[in-house]
Amino acid sequence: MNPIIHRFKILDSLRGIAAILVFMYHMKGVTFLTNNKFINSSGIFVDLFFILSGFVIYHNYKKRIKTYTEAKTFFIKRFKRLYPLHFYTLVIIILIEFVKLITYNFLPYDKAPFYGNSISTIFTNLFLLNSTPLFQGFLWNGQSWSISAELFCYLLFIIVSIFFFKNRKNTLVTTLTIIILSYLFFFFKYDNFAIIRYYEYSFVRAFIGFFLGVGVYLLREKTQISPKENRFFLASLMELSLIVLIVYLTSLYSILRNHYYIYHLVFSIIILTFSYEKGMISYLFSKRVFQNLGLWSYSIYLNHMATILIFEMIYIKLLKLEGFVLILSELTSIIFTCIYSKYTYKYIEKRFYKKLNVTHK
């Protein structure tokens, strides 16, 4: 029987909030709600996912991948965790393209049905190769590039777990080496650190985030806070300051994009800080609504592109909504996606991994 592994509930909530921000980033930006400096740059929160993933995966599997059999079991579990919903959402996007084809003579779409989203471009999405040089653009369910990158992180994690993660020192050296080499890859290939521009090497971008998460976990192990210590005020101040800081820095992305390591650093500090669950914001994020967002975050992330397409078809093209009503329709779309994601989580995600003894993520 596997031991009970601590679940970082506040980090779950952070994942849910990040999923909503990425959702809003992908919307048309037709109102002030989705058209402002912060939301216009909120695509960077995908890197928060990668760091969270590295933190949580290492927490759960740091001593459990030492043999080929354990590695195979780990990868199968993670694949079953990710792929079924990816396949389902891709099918939904395909069906929407057929709806566009049927209604094309009645609704003035920005793009013709199957424009870009062609049969020849579906395979990199279907087989999750769209974080590699096979990347052909943000086609079909475009955000699945990060799922592809996540799987490559798992493969690298398996290799280093078996051959290099022998003790804490080796783990730290290996983790730092991967992060540094990944940064240097972008610098020598593109002469800058604007890693968010180059999606044909997104798996390398994911390596940075994932192993930063491992590094954050190693740091947390060395900076444990006693449960008896009451630092609510200081923790609250730190949490609030970090929230303000990341909102401010995200708004400055157009200026700081060539120095993307700044965002990696701040995201890492945020995850470290909130992993202690000590402050006022942590208390707020422990509430059921935020916990549910965390629970449904993967579904929200993969479902939201279909919602955006439907939003454009109905609210913008068909009904031609404007002003305050359009703001309400954006909010309605977000709420609908959350509710819809509750059910895709229950009937698709859980259906494939509920028996896998997964204790987190």
The region, left, alpha or beta by phi > 0 then psi within -120 to 50, assigned to residue 198 is beta
Tokens of 181: 């080499």
Q: Is 259 helix (H, G, I), strand (E, B) or coil?
A: strand
DSSP 132-172: STT---S-SSGGGHHHHHHHHHHHHHHHHHHHT-SSHHHHH
In angstroms, the Cα distances linking 73 to 85, 97, 157 are 20, 36, 13
Structure confidence at residue 72 (pLDDT): 94
Q: Which of 34-43, 212-221, 252-261, 313-322 has the lowest mean pLDDT?
A: 313-322
Longest dimension (CA), the chain: 67
pLDDT in tens, 145-189: 999 999 999 999 999 999 999 899 999 999 999 999 999 998 888
The 10s digit of each residue's pLDDT in 310-330 is 887 777 667 776 677 788 888
Instruction: State pLDDT tens for residues 264-302.
Output: 999 999 999 999 999 999 999 999 999 999 999 999 999
Buried b / exposed e along 182-191 (16+ C-beta atoms within 10 A):
bbebbeeeee
The ranges assigned to domains in the chain are: 37-279
Whole-structure pTM value: 0.90
Distance CA 253, CA 90 (A): 30
Tokens of 18: 């990040």
Report the C-alpha gap between 342 and 23 in whole angstroms: 16
Residue 361, pLDDT > 80, answer no
Chain centroid to Cα 232, Å, comes to 29
Question: Would you place residue 354 in the very low, low, confident or very high pLDDT band (cuts 50, 70, 90)?
Answer: low
**What is the DSSP annotation of 164-232?**
T-SSHHHHHHHHHHHHHHHHHHHHHHHSSB-GGG-GGGHHHHHHHHHHHHHHHHHHHHHS---TT---H
Distances in Å between the Cα of 249 and the Cα atoms of 21, 37, 49 are: 15, 10, 18
